């Protein structure tokens, strides 16, 4: 068994009277894709935000590479090597793929160029990353606003990869995508894991995306762990049953 790189233990997060998370635990391992599933309001996004350092939990432990993480912030979590792609993608529609990839991390030239961002070097690095991710078909110079939902999603994921993370968290990357676009995201997610990254992906598409592209499925229900399955040993019906109502915790992942 692979040692987890990121572990949450006993995470509780309440917003006033709303018990978003109660005593939730989750492990992510290098080279593995974990699906986080659950009904609307189950606490999935809140859990991702805790991992991303965007929410401070009321209780619980956050461990990274075996060490306790105290007072995680978005910047400290990014520094450890954890990147998050949120549902809104935060792409600039009026910019092209290269500009979007390097948004907020301007490349600088040597001092005699006046440290100007060099388009040529950005393009070279962008091409390199997209090729490694098998996304060569994406245009570098078209505005991303003119691209398909699937291409935009893949650019947002590619942008997170430029930071060479060890862990990638994806909040509903296939929402609003066609079946074939979702399949492209699925191959990308598996590609990342094959390079040794730990991947967490939230998805509602249990029957296709989750069963076909993930190694393990973690179910949240009403803010609590409700089940854990090896993706290859379970049917979509079994997962959905636990999502919507099984009142006992199920652990089939061993
Ligand atoms: N910032 C917040 N303030 C208050 N309540 C919140 C906040 N974020 C989430 N919640 C509530 O916490 C619960 C879990 O939400 P969320 O994590 O977004 O669920 P999911 O992503 O599984 O749909 C919901 O009841 C939601 O309304
Ligand atoms: Mg959500």
Q: What is the pLDDT of residues 158-214, one digit of tens each?
A: 999 888 899 999 999 998 888 888 998 999 999 999 999 999 999 999 999 999 999
Nearest CA to ligand 1 atom 25: 41
pLDDT category at 37 given cuts 50, 70, 90 is very high
pLDDT at res. 103:
82
Q: Is the CB of 150 under 6 A from ligand 1?
A: no
Mutating to test ligand 1, I would choose from 38, 39, 43, 51 the residue with most ligand atoms within 8 A of its C-beta, which is 43
Nearest CA to ligand 1 atom 1: 15
Q: Is the CB of 42 under 6 A from ligand 1?
A: yes
pLDDT at res. 226:
96
Half-sphere exposure at residue 76, Cβ-oriented, CA atoms within 13 angstroms: 14
Burial of 100 (0-12, 13-18, 19+ CB in 10 A): buried
pLDDT at res. 235:
96
Identify whether the C-beta of residue 99 lies closer than 8 Å to the C-beta of residue 124. no
pLDDT category at 87 given cuts 50, 70, 90 is confident
pLDDT at res. 61:
98
Mean residue pLDDT of the chain comes to 91
Helices (H), 57-162: 74-80, 97-101, 119-132, 149-161
Q: pLDDT for 125-164, tens place per residue?
A: 889 888 888 888 899 989 999 998 889 999 999 999 888 8
Ligand nearest to the CA of 46: 1
| Res. 254: pLDDT tops 70 | no
Q: pLDDT for 236-245, tens place per residue?
A: 999 999 999 8
pLDDT category at 110 given cuts 50, 70, 90 is low
Taking residue 103's Cβ as centre, other Cβ atoms within 10 Å add up to 13
* Cα 39 to ligand 1 centre (Å): 11
The residues, ordered by sequence, that sit 6+ positions from 228 with a Cβ below 8 Å of its Cβ are 216, 217, 218, 219, 250, 251, 252, 253
Strand boundaries in the chain, DSSP class E: 6-15, 18-28, 33-37, 59-64, 67-68, 82-85, 167-170, 198-202, 216-221, 224-230, 250-251
Nearest CA to ligand 1 atom 26: 41
Nearest CA to ligand 1 atom 6: 15
pLDDT at res. 133:
83
82: β partners:
167
Distance (Å, rounded) from C-alpha 154 to C-alpha 187?
A: 11
Q: What domains can you pick out in the chain, each with its CATH number? A: 1-81+165-254 (3.40.50.300), 91-162 (no CATH)
Identify whether the C-beta of residue 48 lies closer than 8 Å to the C-beta of residue 128. no
Q: Is the CB of 244 under 6 A from ligand 1?
A: no
Identify whether the C-beta of residue 47 lies closer than 8 Å to the C-beta of residue 7. no
* Cα 146 to ligand 2 centre (Å): 26
pLDDT at res. 186:
94
What DSSP element (H or E) covers 50? helix 44-51
* Cα 48 to ligand 1 centre (Å): 11
Nearest CA to ligand 1 atom 12: 20
């Amino acid at each position: 068994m692979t040692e987890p790189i990121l572990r949450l233990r006993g995470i509780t997060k309440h917003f006033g009277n709303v018990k978003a998370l109660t005593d939730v635990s989750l492990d992510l391992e290098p080279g593995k894709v974990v699906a986080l599933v659950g009904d609307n309001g189950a606490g999935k996004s809140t859990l991702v935000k805790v991992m991303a350092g965007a929410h401070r939990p009321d209780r619980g432990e956050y461990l990274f590479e075996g060490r306790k993480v105290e007072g995680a912030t978005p910047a400290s979590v990014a520094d450890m090597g954890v990147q998050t792609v949120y549902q809104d993608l935060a792409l600039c529609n009026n910019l092209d793929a290269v500009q979007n990839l390097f948004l907020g991390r301007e490349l600088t030239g040597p001092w005699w160029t006046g440290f100007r961002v060099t388009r040529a070097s950005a393009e070279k690095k962008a091409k390199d990353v997209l090729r490694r991710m098998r996304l060569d078909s994406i245009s570098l110079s078209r505005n991303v606003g003119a691209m398909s939902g699937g291409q935009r999603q893949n650019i947002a994921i590619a942008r997170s990869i430029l930071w060479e993370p060890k862990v990638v968290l994806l909040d509903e990357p296939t929402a609003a995508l066609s079946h074939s676009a979702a399949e492209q995201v699925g191959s990308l997610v598996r590609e990342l894991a094959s390079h040794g990254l730990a991947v967490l992906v939230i998805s509602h598409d249990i029957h296709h995306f989750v069963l076909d592209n993930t190694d393990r499925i973690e179910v949240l229900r009403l803010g609590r762990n409700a089940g854990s399955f090896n993706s290859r040993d379970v049917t979509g019906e079994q997962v959905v049953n636990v999502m919507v109502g099984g009142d006992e915790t199920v652990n089939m992942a061993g």
